[in-house]
Structure 1
Amino acid sequence: MFVGAWERPVKASVYMTLVGGAWACFYTKPDQSSFEAALLERSGQLGLLSPWIRNGASDGHVQNLVKLRNEGRLHHVSLGLLSLVYRTEYDPDATLYEAQCSNVSPRWREFPQRVLDVGFVGRWWVLDSKMKDYDVNTEEFKHLPAHMQATSPPSVQEVERSERLHKESWLALTMEDEEIETNVVEVKQESVSEESSTNELTQQQTQT
């Protein structure tokens, strides 16, 4: 094996990469407990939000998964390199005829339609994608014009300007010498004008 790897290093590198990648996928494959923990965490995140600002798709998907879990219809299967979470029609412990008879059970060709999530490299991909922007209710903005519904991320210059203005807002105000002198002159002029107006009123009252 070492001689073959020495003679064909590219082929050996490809094989080693494939084997290492398969081992990493198998080692980081999530299990059923990790899915339940992720589901409870996402449900808690949505529970902290008001129903008016929750994303409808995120809330509906999580509520459906929680309902299936409480009914015992949510199951997990390991496929070596990845994991699948799927739903069934009945709880395995149910004593109904439809739940126990294999002749009326769903066929394997219907299994892809029952898959709800895929676990790969330590993530549940469908759940993570459904929770994107979970705190944005898109129904609130559907009546806005198209150019107002889409937003673009700020540029680097805008972010730096916002940070600079935020830092400057915490600084103490300073006044230049010229501004101080101007303010003093204005105050003196106002006091002089008030005194002159007071004197004129006094003279008018004396004359009357």
Structure 2
Amino acid sequence: MSSFRAARRMFCAAAETAATPAAGSRWQRLKQSKAGVWFRSLASDYKEACREMVVGAWERPIKASVYGTLVGGALACFYSKPDKSSFEAALLERSNKLGLLSPWIRNATSDGHVQSLIKLRNEGRLHHISLGLISLAYRADFDPDVALYEAQCSNLSVPWRELPQRMLDVGFFGYWWILDSKMKDYDVNEDEFKHLPEHMQHTSPPGIQEVERIEKLHKESWLPPTVEEEETERKEMDRKEETISEKSQTKEQTPA
């Protein structure tokens, strides 16, 4: 019985010893194959590139900061780039703002620009294109769903050289810049001031001292009048009455 157990142990040990080199040789064959050599060279290249990048950033921190800022800014512009739905939402919001105003006080430039965009949108001619970091809104000749030969033929589509003439807005960093610039002072109708002299058509904002003086006068107007103020006002009224009476007596004493 003991001899049987010893023989079994020897057989198991021999089997384990035989299996270990086989596994090791298989792993070695995998490492020495073409795929293994390619993966090892690729990992070595990435490791060397990362090491050079870290060493270069440590030796030239200003250059690394500039490159990092440019890459981060490009990524921020790419992910914050507005799309067609955001342009339509901004357009409808501006249209609602103008709709709340009377036609007599709307800015003609803002109203005309928004109304033209709304018309193109209703006709299906307002299109959008993405150019990586920016987005462009442009006008087309036809709605893409129209069953016309001119609208469906790819050879008659809008050529790239005409895109600058058809461009309506530029989307960059989450804003549509032309639409925002056209909506500046949208509640000021400049046609109302055309009859005024030239020096009155353009007014400059008040300075800090003027604003402080106006605010001080506004706050003082809400305060109750004091006894001294009433006395001063009474004296001024008496003085005015005396002046008026003296003038009237002088006129009476003057011979005709």
Which TM-score bucket, shorter chain as reference? 0.7 to 0.9
Query: Is residue 115 of structure 1 aligned with residue 167 of structure 2?
Result: yes
Alignment of structure 1 residues 100-139 onto 2, 5 Å: 100-139=152-191
The SS at the match of 2:227 is: coil
1:93 is aligned with what amino acid? D
The partner residue of 1:66 within 118, 133, 137 is 118
Q: C-alpha root-mean-square deviation of aligned residues, in Å? A: 2.0
- Looking at structure 2, the residues matched to 177 and 70 of structure 1 have their Cα atoms a distance apart, in angstroms, of 65
Pick from 44, 49, 54 the counterpart of residue 101 of structure 2.
Answer: 49
> C-alpha offsets along residues 17-43 of structure 1, whole Å, 9 cap, x if unaligned?
101111111122112221111111100
The answer to whether structure 1 residue 165 and structure 2 residue 217 are counterparts is: yes
Letter in 2 for 1:18: L
Structure 1 residue ranges (4+ consecutive) displaced by more than 6 angstroms after TM superposition? none
Q: Quick check: 1:154 aligned with 2:206?
A: yes
* Cα drift, residue 103 of structure 1: 3.2
1:112 partner SS: helix
TM-score (norm. length: structure 1):
0.82
Structure with more relative contact order (C-alpha pairs < 8 Å, separation 6 or more): 1
Unaligned runs of 5+ in 2: 1-52, 239-256
* 1:54 aligned counterpart, secondary structure: coil
Distance in 1 (CA, whole Å) between partners of 2:131 and 2:200 is 45
Q: Give distance in 2, aligned partners of 1:38 and 1:121.
A: 14
Report the residue type matching 1:83 in the other structure. S
Query: Cα–Cα, structure 1 residues 2 and 177, in superposed 2: closer, same or farther, change >3 Å?
Result: closer
User: What is the rounded CA distance, in whole Å, between the counterparts of 1:80 and 1:138 in structure 2?
Assistant: 38
Unaligned 5+ segments in structure 1 are: 187-208
The CA deviation string for residues 109-148 of structure 1, in whole angstroms up to 9 with x for no partner, is: 0011111011111111000000001111111112322111
Measured after TM superposition, the shift of residue 106 of structure 1 is 2.9
Q: Distance in 2 between matches of 1:167 and 1:29?
A: 47
Choose 1 or 2 for highest CA Rg.
2
- 1:7 alignment partner AA: E
Following superposition, the deviation at residue 177 of structure 1 comes to 9.7
Whole-angstrom distance in 2 between the partners of 1:156 and 1:51: 34
Residues 29 and 177 of structure 1: CA distance in aligned 2, closer, same or farther (over 3 Å): closer
The aligned length equals 183
Distance 1:98 1:178, change over 3 A: closer
Distance 2:66 2:110 in 1: 40
Q: Distance between the aligned counterparts of 2:220 and 2:181, measured in 1?
A: 39
Q: 1:96 aligned to 2:153?
A: no
| Partner Cα distance (1:32, 1:105) in 2 | 20
**Mean Cα deviation higher: 108-117 or 94-103:** 94-103
User: Could you tell me which of 58, 66, 73 is aligned with 1:21?
Assistant: 73
Higher deviation after alignment, 126-135 or 6-15: 6-15
2:252 is matched with: none
Question: By percentage of residues, which structure has more helix?
Answer: 2
Structure 1: distance between partners of 2:185 and 2:98: 11
Residue identity in the other structure for 1:104: L
What TM-score, normalized to structure 2? 0.67
> What is the identity, as a one-letter code, of the residue corresponding to 2:119?
K
Cα 1:178–1:21 change in 2 (3 A) is: closer
